[in-house]
Amino acid sequence: MAERYDVVIIGAGPGGYVAAIRAAQLGMKAACIDGRAAPGGTCLNIGCIPSKALLQSSEKYAEARNGLAEHGIEIGEAGLDLAAMMARKDKVVTTLTRGVEFLFRKNKVDWIKGNGRIVAPGRIAVAANGGGNQEIEAAAIVVATGSESIPLPGLAIDEERIVSSTGALAFDRVPERLAVIGGGYIGLELGSVWSRLGAKVTVIEYLDRILPNMDRELGPALQRLLTRSGIAFKLATKVVSGELGNEAVTLELEPAKGGAREMLAADAVLVAIGRRPFTDGLGLDEIGVARDPAGRVTVDDGFATNVPGIYAIGDVIRGPMLAHKAMEEGVAVIERLAGQKPEIDYDAIPGVVYTWPEVAAVGKTEEELKAAGIEYRVGKFPFTATPRARTNGDTDGFVKVLADAATDRVLGVHIIGPDAGTMIAEAALAMEYGASSEDIARTTHAHPTLSEAVKEAALAVDGRPIHI
Ligand SMILES: Cc1cc2nc3c(=O)[nH]c(=O)nc-3n(C[C@H](O)[C@H](O)[C@H](O)COP(=O)(O)OP(=O)(O)OC[C@H]3O[C@@H](n4cnc5c(N)ncnc54)[C@H](O)[C@@H]3O)c2cc1C
């Protein structure tokens, strides 16, 4: 007889594994299925975690090469052992995926290694990784199958010379010239890694600015700083074709608006033009689960699809493709199944770009507020005027707070600067609580910390920053 569960989650990424653990906490009999050898999904295996491990290592390398002399530290020339750097990254990944396996055991979640296909509401066929098939039953099924890189027609990914983010996390030598197609966060983060390690990196972006989805001031500000660090940019440019030669990959480029074409030769090309929902092999069409034109599984506010008993969360549904968004949805879908009424404030989900300096944002951009006809006030404060940034020698960037002109409620916070990704948590919490800029301005921030720039930007909304 088929094993019967209260809930089965397909996909053990941040959405799926968190949902499985929460289900177990609430006393449900839960299983989580994934076709990968290790749990953690894209994020732990080929996404957030390995990229941040390489960003950290490459940042230390760049600092050792160029950043220590100003502190009076002499170390001679720093050398690179790329194999050791990669081995460290792999170890970080293994430690964390084993951590998820441990959490599954601790919470008595059944971790099923194989590919799942929904044969009918409540029934899933699993093709086990080791061979063999099994069918399991579930009162509720949660689809958490995530996303995959979007390929660029005419540039077949071989993960060696023409790579997706996965290949760019595993080069066995530093490419002399790396072309990055796409100026979003994945292209900029991985471009930064290889630029710091010595590659001559060129970022090609179809739109007229990098980070096109963020507040208009952030992309150009980051571009200036990355240009200073040695990365070249070709904006408003499209890749028309690519040719894999013996010596190089040659890209043919054309201005987005049309015009004279040019060639760009590179030793490796990273295609980072975005990600799309992944539902291959799940059997959604056969059972009639609706998807939108972008291929995302359509869900209501409670993550229910149009087929009773089938739910979906994470990258495979609408909203930002971010690990923490998937995790929140993993908790919320299960709590709803348990009769609770959790709500996610999608306006308070932060987004972070882990370049140096980091870029982080939560809430509305100025463009969004203008488009919605909302009157707002702006408070800005630069890190040059923040004492801790001076002591650290990291003074690039600023904090920008946007507050409702009538109520002073914080509508958005945008930061480019050192540790922006950590600082944005304060702004997200403020927004969750419906705080005003005055609330942030009146909150005591420890001195000297980088977070004082957030307080000063909040003071600046009312025209009364102290240190500028
Ligand atoms: C290079 C890179 C860097 C990133 N950095 C960050 C970051 O710093 N911060 C951040 O928030 N986000 C980051 N992301 C995005 C983040 O990885 C995703 O938003 C997140 O993993 C989505 O979680 P998920 O649970 O929806 O899906 P996923 O993590 O994609 O997991 C889905 C899982 O489902 C499995 N699966 C699919 N179909 C089946 C099936 N039929 N049967 C069984 N299993 C199946 C897949 O094998 C996969 O393991 C990054 C992504 C990339 C590529």
Handedness of CA 8, 13, 19, 20 (dihedral sign): positive
Answer yes or no: are the C-beta atoms of 436 and 407 closer than 8 Å.
yes
CB 54 within 8 A of CB 87: no
Measure 356 CA to ligand 1 centroid, in angstroms. 24
Ranges of the chain whose pLDDT falls below 50: none
| Model pLDDT, residue 2 | 84
Q: Which atom of ligand 1 is nearest to the CA of 320?
A: 19
| pLDDT of amino acid 98 | 98
Q: What is the DSSP string of 388-403?
A: HHHHHT----EEEEEE
**Three-state DSSP class for residue 187:** helix
In sign, the C-alpha dihedral spanning 330, 333, 337, 338 is positive
Q: How do 177-181 and 200-204 pair as beta strands?
A: parallel
Q: Extract the runs of DSSP E, i.e. beta strands, from 355-409.
A: 358-363, 376-382, 398-404
Does residue 321 have its Cβ closer than 6 Å to ligand 1? Answer: yes
> Ligand 1: does its nearest atom lie under 6 Å from the Cβ of 147?
yes
Q: Is the pTM of this model over 0.85?
A: yes
Q: Cα–Cα distance between 241 and 87 in angstroms, integer? A: 34
Q: Is 281 in the pocket of ligand 1 (CB under 6 A)?
A: yes
Side chain identity at residue 330, one-letter code: G
Please state, rounded to an integer, the average pLDDT across all residues of the chain: 97
Best residue among 21, 33, 42 to mutate for probing ligand 1's pocket (most ligand atoms within 8 Å of CB) is: 42
Cβ of 14 less than 6 Å from ligand 1: yes
For 198-202, which contacts have Cβ atoms below 8 Å and span 24 or more sequence positions?
198/80, 198/174, 199/174, 199/175, 200/176, 200/230, 200/232, 201/230, 201/231, 201/232, 202/177, 202/178, 202/231, 202/232, 202/233, 202/234, 202/264, 202/266
Cβ proximity of 112 and 32 under 8 Å:
yes
With tokens 């959490």, the residue in question is 103
Q: How far is the CA of 132 from the centre of ligand 1 (A)?
A: 26
Express each pLDDT in 231-253 by its tens digit: 999 999 999 999 999 989 999 99
Cα angle 322, 324, 326; round to 5: 70
Q: Are 322 and 428 in contact (CB under 8 A)?
A: no
